[in-house]
Amino acid sequence: ALTDEGLAVEAFKLVEKGVFMDDKTRELLQSPSQHKGCSGARKPEDNMSDLRAQVAANQKGIALIGELVQEYSLDVVQAYMLHIQDNAEVAVRDLLKRVAAEVSSGKKSSSSPERKRKRGTSSEAASEEVQKGVEERRVTVLGKGKVELCAEDFMDDGTEIRLKVSIDGSKGEAVMNFEGSGFEVMGNCNAPRAVTYSAIIYSLRSMVDKDIPLNQGCLNPIVAQIPKGSILWPSDTAAVVGGNVLTSQRVVDVILKAFGAASASQGCMNNITFGDSKFGYYETIGGGAGAGPTWDGRSGVHTHMTNTRITDVEIMERRYPILVRKFGLREGSG
């Protein structure tokens, strides 16, 4: 359950009237201990330092925004914030229009591998291609600029992640429907809906052919349909720690497969954790990156939803009571 994973905060006032709520925050960090079998923060000083750093970063951001407003006026700053989102929306719409056109015509594209299609007897006849592999990928041409891209993959326990992307090429819009994905699981590989959305926006940003900052505008042409109670939208009490670091990678793999953009990654951030009552170590090790139409795959790298680099051995041994005997790639591994 979620309570087994530690502290979950829905809302908490960290700073009030310019004062950092030190005592209340420390009390909050220890609150999980009220649940049977659970404990509070093992290194609260580290947590407090992280929170203070985040407050300081926000204050710096506020100051910089204030300088922009002072120099250019609030109206201009807000207008350009919207321009950035509008530009991202246009970039994603262009991507969807291009994919729809290339799938309909059967041309090879930078976002999808070359494929042969069966043609119907009329311009509106649906045409479907099934690519055989470990899992199935289907491309269906519906006519009038509309196409469907379908893909699926499976978690290690057999739970399915299924996606159907319905693209309207005339409008540059798409419905990403995850109906048919597996139910919420008893373990911790459930991915909160926000994580599923993060995988969607990351994948779209990766496929556009323009250099744009990641922002909400990327999702404006997208309608995401995620079944409630599934592994991609679990209940509020479900354990989720594995969803962020494992399931999210599988979702990206399925999206990129549907678009024919790249082969799957290792499908996990390859996590390792150990510790005791006084410390905890957690690392995402990385793995392999899938090949694409114009590039080879890579070994021993962090991919997709990871946002960290592996800790240097020197730092690891300095901060934790361990010695590292060997550090390198395991040859012949998957």
User: What are 244-270's pLDDT values in tens digits?
Assistant: 889 999 999 999 999 998 888 888 888
Residue 192 contacts residue 199 (beta carbons within 8 Å): no
Confidence band, pLDDT 50/70/90 cuts, at residue 325: very high
- Give me the pLDDT at residue 284, please: 85
Position 136 pLDDT exceeds 80: no
Position 222 pLDDT exceeds 70: yes
Tokens of 303: 């991919």
More confident residue, 36 or 88: 88
Q: What percent of the chain clears pLDDT 90, i.e. is strictly above it? A: 54
Q: What is the DSSP letter of 310?
A: P
Residue 43 contacts residue 279 (beta carbons within 8 Å): yes
Confidence band, pLDDT 50/70/90 cuts, at residue 131: very low
- Give me the pLDDT at residue 135, please: 52
Provide the 10 A C-beta neighbour count for residue 121: 6
Position 289 pLDDT exceeds 90: no
Confidence band, pLDDT 50/70/90 cuts, at residue 123: very low
Q: Model pTM?
A: 0.84
- Give the angle 140-210-295 at the CA atoms, nearest 5°: 65
Judged by DSSP in three states, 138 sits in strand
Q: How far apart are CA 118 and CA 206, in angstroms?
A: 29
- Give me the pLDDT at residue 117, please: 32
Position 43 pLDDT exceeds 70: yes
| Top-ranked range on mean pLDDT: pick from 167-181, 290-304, 312-326 | 167-181
